[in-house]
Structure 1
Amino acid sequence: MTEVRLMVIGDELVAGAGDPKALGWVGRVAARTHPTDRLSVLTLAVPGETTTALGQRWEDEVARRLSPDADNRLVIGLGRADLGAGLSLARSRLNLANVLDVAEQRRIPAFVVGPPPGSTAEADRLAELSAAFGDVATRRRVPYVDTFSPLAAHEQWLGDLAMGDGVLPGQAGYGLMAWLVLHTGWHTWLGLPDDAA
């Protein structure tokens, strides 16, 4: 039986920070994914990480977890740290492009999950960042999940943020992110029937 090995890189949203069930969107997606082979999900999260820092560390960390006997795949969960760090849109685009290009060179199929909405103060800039990430992924024929647009005015998402620290989602918010991932090409990317969700 071949192992499907998912390396999930990203920030605290990948780690599920703020979720009382400690599952985050990654755990919820994994629980709803049933490949015919064994599934291993390896979460490699660094809280507050920008795409620059992600780009510097991901290759070495992922390389140590690759198996010649497994179906190795890369899931990139992008957060909002680029905004706080003052990175330009062009720099954020380039950082993601570099990760995706190296993954393609190494023949590691990639899947990208964009940043969800946070504070309303950064909404316009975050919308631009999400669109830029989506464009980079689409140009490389890599699946991209836009979590920003569907959740920006979603009552349950906004209520979940408000009940917490206003930045991290809770149980309901991570559930919404997981739903978006599962219904935006996840099973197709893994070669599974769509009704597996």
Structure 2
Amino acid sequence: MTGDLRICFIGDSFVQGIGDPEHRGWVGRVLAVTRGDITAFNLGIRRDTSEDVLRRCWREALPRTLPGADNRLVISFGSNDTVQEDGTVRTDLALAGV
């Protein structure tokens, strides 16, 4: 291992930091308390549901990994699954296996 710690944070607006007055979100706050020796990729997208995250997860995370590095993946989603639009929730929980 090279000692290169690489973390992909993938998810929704909470990952991205939307609504955070400091524009850091929880990912930025976690990184702020590290020693700065982490290569971090914030892959949050506003309004993404669990289905959206699953669809793009490996396509976006794999190109950011390196052989021999300590590659990590953190996934955070869920709030957009429960949002109601036109009288129904955005993600059909029965189809999601919940």
TM (norm. structure 1) is 0.43
Q: Secondary structure at the match of 1:55?
A: helix
Mapped contact 1:11–1:77 kept (Cα < 8 A): yes
Residue pairs, 1:179-194, within 5 angstroms: none
Per-residue deviation at 1:33?
Answer: 2.5
The 5-angstrom pairing of residues 1-197 of structure 1 reads 2-34=3-35, 38-84=37-83, 85-88=90-93, 91=96, 93=98
Q: Root-mean-square deviation (CA), in Å?
A: 1.9
**What are structure 2's unaligned runs of at least 5 residues?**
84-89
Separation (CA, whole Å) in 2 of partners of 1:92 and 1:67: 32
Which AA in structure 1 matches 2:63?
Answer: R
Secondary structure of the 1:56 match is helix
Distance 2:34 2:76 in 1: 17
For structure 1, the 5+ residue unaligned runs are 94-197
Percent of paired sites with the same residue: 35
**What per-residue deviation string (whole Å, max 9, x for no partner) do you get for residues 101-141 of structure 1?**
xxxxxxxxxxxxxxxxxxxxxxxxxxxxxxxxxxxxxxxxx
- TM-superposition CA deviations, 1:122-162 (whole Å, max 9, x none): xxxxxxxxxxxxxxxxxxxxxxxxxxxxxxxxxxxxxxxxx
Aligned residues: 91
Between 1 and 2, higher relative CO (CA 8 Å, sep ≥ 6) is seen in: 2
Distance 2:23 2:8 in 1: 18
1:64 partner SS: helix
Q: Which has the higher helix share?
A: 1
Does the residue aligned with 2:21 lie in a helix, a strand or coil?
Answer: coil
- Secondary structure of 2:64's counterpart equals coil
